[in-house]
């Protein structure tokens, strides 16, 4: 199958995407990424598309999509197209798989995670920190020939052939970074035994069909940019996007902001009477906007945000930040 059959949007202007996952409500770290993405887009005239990345079906929460849209609007974040809901149409991803199979770049992989971890131990290669994947040793790759993407009698994952090459990412925030996925992770899963595309493939296909030219997200996904570049090249998708990988918001323990740091969901603060402008004021303080911390409307954030002033280090959410957010709402009760 030719790459011409892979859906691609004709790009007439720069396009970015807001791509939340409905596995839970948005927290303050998510909100910071989305409002910076929105501000960059509106400042520079990019089109904004909304995508709901809901392929991790066991973890999708009922009502989460509506909640995410409500939270974004409460913060003054709007978009021009969407939402595109990934699970509503899997055919574009199947087209991509057929293309990769015809080029000899993907193959079925029946190995379990336990078998891979055992193999990694045998090859002196431990599972990669911060991921749920084990490195797939090249020694376990079968002979891969051009063929067809067909269902297997026993459901299994499909992997992409990762070439022995170095990928260079030119990032507007993180700078120039190099990666060797062949050494760090090996052949990774792009189609799951649930008969759905894995995250890396889905993102590449969706960015192509939505015409995405600029990607703004957390820097925990920097290595994913290298994997996605490999898939873009395999699919013949042309010019890679411009990347903006932002430093994360972390808890005082140094770990990425999560449930263990308390309830930092935006909806919780809003339901407790915290004004959206106060949340934006905290995010502005985290984003290099100078001046004393105070409430701020989204329009002012848009006018004052400067990417060059964005801190190039992770932000820490402290107990004092929570107290500041709740200060006015507590006094009003």
* Under 8 Å between Cβ of 255 and 314: no
Cα dihedral 6, 110, 119, 126 sign: positive
What DSSP character marks residue 253? T
* Under 8 Å between Cβ of 130 and 255: no
The pLDDT of residue 261: 77
On the CB side of 174, CA atoms within 13 Å amount to 25
Q: Which of 277, 192, 206 shows the shortest CA–CA distance to 237? A: 206
Domain residue ranges of the chain, discontinuous segments joined by +: 3-246, 253-332
The pLDDT of residue 238: 87
The pLDDT of residue 157: 93
The pLDDT of residue 9: 67
CATH topology (fold) of 253-332 = 1.10.1160
The pLDDT of residue 10: 66
Distance CA 25, CA 149 (A): 36
Contacts 24+ apart (CB under 8 A), 178-183: 179/222, 179/223, 179/225, 179/226, 181/223, 181/226, 181/227, 181/230, 182/138
Ranges in the chain, pLDDT < 70: 1-5, 7, 9-11, 113-133, 259, 329-333
Q: Please write the tens of the pLDDT for every residue from 42-75.
A: 999 999 999 999 999 889 999 999 999 999 999 9
pTM as predicted: 0.90
The pLDDT of residue 116: 64
Q: Please write the tens of the pLDDT for every residue from 176-232.
A: 999 999 999 999 999 999 999 999 999 999 999 999 999 999 999 999 999 999 999
Cα dihedral 8, 9, 13, 17 sign: negative
User: How many beta carbons lie within 10 A of that of residue 10, not counting itself?
Assistant: 5
DSSP 3-state of 106: strand
Q: Say which residue the tokens 């997200």 belong to.
A: 217
Q: Kindly report the CATH class assigned to 3-246.
A: alpha beta
Residues 6 or more apart whose Cβ sits within 8 Å of residue 260: 251, 253
Cis status of the peptide bond prior to 267, with omega within 30 of 0: no
Distance CA 223, CA 189 (A): 15
Tokens describing residue 270: 């809003």
């Amino acid at each position: 199958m030719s790459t011409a059959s892979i859906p691609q949007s004709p790009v007439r202007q720069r396009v970015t995407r807001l791509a939340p996952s409905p596995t839970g409500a948005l927290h303050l770290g998510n909100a910071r990424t989305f409002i910076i993405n929105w501000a960059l887009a509106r400042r520079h005239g990019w089109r904004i598309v909304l995508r709901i990345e809901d392929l991790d079906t066991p973890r999708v929460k009922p009502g989460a999509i509506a909640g995410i849209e409500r939270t974004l609007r409460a913060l003054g974040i709007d978009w021009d197209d969407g939402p595109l809901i990934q699970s509503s149409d899997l055919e574009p991803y199947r087209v991509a798989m057929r293309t990769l199979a015809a080029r000899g770049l993907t193959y079925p992989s029946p190995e379990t995670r336990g078998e891979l971890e055992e193999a990694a131990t045998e090859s002196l290669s431990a599972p990669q920190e911060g991921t749920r994947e084990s490195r797939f040793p090249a020694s376990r790759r079968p002979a891969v020939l051009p063929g067809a993407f067909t269902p297997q009698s026993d459901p299994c994952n499909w992997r992409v052939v990762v070439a022995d090459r170095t990928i260079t990412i030119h990032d507007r925030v993180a700078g120039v970074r190099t990666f060797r996925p062949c050494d760090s992770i090996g052949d990774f899963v792009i189609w799951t035994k649930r008969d759905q595309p894995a995250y890396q493939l889905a993102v590449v296909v969706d960015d192509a069909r939505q015409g995405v030219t600029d990607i703004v997200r957390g820097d925990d996904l920097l290595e994913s940019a290298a994997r996605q570049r490999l898939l873009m090249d395999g699919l013949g998708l042309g010019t890679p996007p411009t990347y903006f990988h932002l430093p994360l918001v972390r808890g005082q323990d140094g770990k990425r902001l999560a449930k263990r740091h308390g309830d930092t969901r935006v909806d919780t603060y809003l339901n407790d009477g915290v004004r959206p402008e106060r949340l934006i004021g905290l995010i502005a303080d985290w984003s290099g906007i100078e001046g004393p911390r105070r409430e701020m409307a989204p329009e002012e954030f848009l006018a004052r945000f400067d990417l060059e002033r964005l801190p190039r280090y992770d932000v820490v959410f402290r107990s004092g930040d929570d107290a500041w957010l709740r200060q006015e709402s507590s006094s009003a009760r």
